[in-house]
Structure 1
Amino acid sequence: MNLSTRQQQILAMLAQTDGRLDSSELTEAFQVSVQTIRKDLNELSNRGLVQRVHGGITWPRQNRNLSFSNRQVINLEAKRAIAQAVAKRLPEGASIFLGIGTTPQQVAQALLDHPGLQVITNNLNAAITLCHNPRIETLVAGGRIRPADQDLMGEDTTRFLRRFQVNYGIFGIGGLSARGELMDFSPEESHLSRAIIDCADQSILVADSSKYLRNAPVRTGLLEEVNIFVTDRLPPEVHALLAHTETELVCTSMPTEEHTDEPT
């Protein structure tokens, strides 16, 4: 079942909040009946995209990630904007890691007109997309395929990535904790993200605002270890986390001249 335009807009609105959205706000925003909004929210809840709470919705609280197809539709325009911002930063001839997930997949899409790169990835969708740019050399890691996530995992995959030292390591996360911890949903995902951070001259975290304060059980590292953080929106609590780090912030909702590497 495809999401309706209104359901996609509801998810986008939820991403712009502190993680909760009231039904009354939605009925007012869309000028529809309570019954219509209730139907939308029930459908989103049945797909696992939101959690119903008294009077509204929140992001699901779970220790397993949403399905890949569901993640593809959450905050899609924000992910595309993040991807475009990353693609513009990559110089011709650079070598990069491209990690798993739907935002790195959007980065691959944004690279279709890039003048030339070497890409090492375990993201099958990204690899297939990059085949359409003959100026990009793509190396795909071996390992165990996760059919539901359309990527490769395991010790062989991590070992393959650790054979390289690249210019830029681009990766996503399962969630960002209130303490600035980078969280993932499995040890395998965490090991791969850690390899990308460790084996890149500059690590680039790509995470839309739906990841803020989202639960995930495995701790991968800290936001302060990341060289560049590209996101679509910066809540005050995340801004505070960056205040005492050297991490460069690129926030796509800000005008270009307001991008800063010294959050205040």
Structure 2
Amino acid sequence: MLLSERQTKILAWLKQAGGHLSSQELTDSFNVSVQTIRKDLNELSDQGLVQRVHGGIRLPFHNRNLSFQSRQVINLEAKRAIGSKVADLLPEGATIFIGIGTTPQQVALALLDHPGLQVITNNLNAAMTLCHNPNIETLLTGGRIRPSDQDLMGEDATRFLRRFQVNFGIFGIGGLGPQGDLMDFSPEESYLSRAIIENSDQRILVADSSKHLRKAPVRTGTLSDVDRLVTDQLTTPMAELCEAAGVELLY
């Protein structure tokens, strides 16, 4: 389900407000009825994007990732812009990894007109997208399908990635912690990200601003493992973390 313009603004405001907003603030700001705001908040809550509390909403606490459908609509335009920036970085004939997640999926969509690549991925959506470009050779890992995330996971997938040494490793992350840690939501996801990091000449992290300073349970690495961060916008704390780690920024 796509978010309305008002729902997108509510999420952005919620984050800027420190994670809590009252229903009265929202009705006053948008000049709409209580019933209209209630409908917006119920839909956002149903998608796991907010948590309803007495008198308003707050950001949820996540020990697991949001559903794939929810992640597809969060910051969609920002993810499309990130995908386009990454596509412009990749020369013809390069070999690349594309990791799991909705932002790497947008990278694949941005490659539909690319003159030629070899892509290795465990991202089912990326592989299906790249089938439409005859100039791209796509190698898909084996492994266990996660229907909820539309990807391939497990030892077979990780072992397959480790057979290659590619020019560019493009991957997303569950969150970028306040100390510059790369965080994932499961050990399986972390193993895949490490395989990409350790078998790529250049490591490109794609993460929209909703991932900045966000925690997740599993530590995969640090920003120093990354050569370039491609994002949509940057706060001062995140810019300082990247500068300290020697990470090139593109936004």
Pick the TM interval, shorter chain. over 0.9
Q: Which runs of 5+ in 1 are unaligned?
A: 252-264
Change (3 A) 1:19 1:130: farther
Tell me the equivalent position of 1:94: 94
Letter in 2 for 1:249: L
How many residue pairs align between the two structures?
250
TM-score normalised to the size of structure 1?
A: 0.88
Q: Counterpart in 1 of 2:134?
A: 134
Tell me, in whole angstroms, the C-alpha distance in 1 between the residues paired with 2:29 and 2:200.
Answer: 44
CA contact (8 A) 2:178 2:214 kept: no
How far does the alpha carbon of each residue in 1:106-143 deviate from its partner, in whole angstroms, 9 at most, with x for none?
Answer: 00000001111000000000000000000000000001
Q: Which residue identity lines up with residue 218 of structure 2 in the other structure?
A: V
Contact map agreement 1:166 1:199 (CA 8 A) in 2: yes
Q: Which residue number corresponds to residue 60 of structure 2?
A: 60
Shift of 1:49: 1.4
Deviations 1:15-64 (A, max 9, x none): 6x365253455435433234422321122112211223566444321211
Q: Residue in 2 aligned with 1:261? A: none
CA distance in 2, matches of 1:206, 1:235: 16
RMSD over aligned Cα, in angstroms?
1.8
Hey, what's the Cα distance between the residues in 1 that align with 2:234 and 2:137? 34
Q: Which residue of 1 aligns with 2:109?
A: 109
Matched AA of 1:134 = P
How is 1:74-223 mapped onto 2 (pairs within 5 angstroms)?
74-223=74-223
Unaligned runs of 5+ in 2: none
Q: How far off is 1:225 after superposition?
A: 1.5
Q: Structure 1: how far apart are the matches of 2:156 and 2:195?
A: 12
Q: Which amino acid aligns with 2:19?
A: R
Instruction: Judge which range, 200-209 or 46-55, deviates more.
Output: 46-55
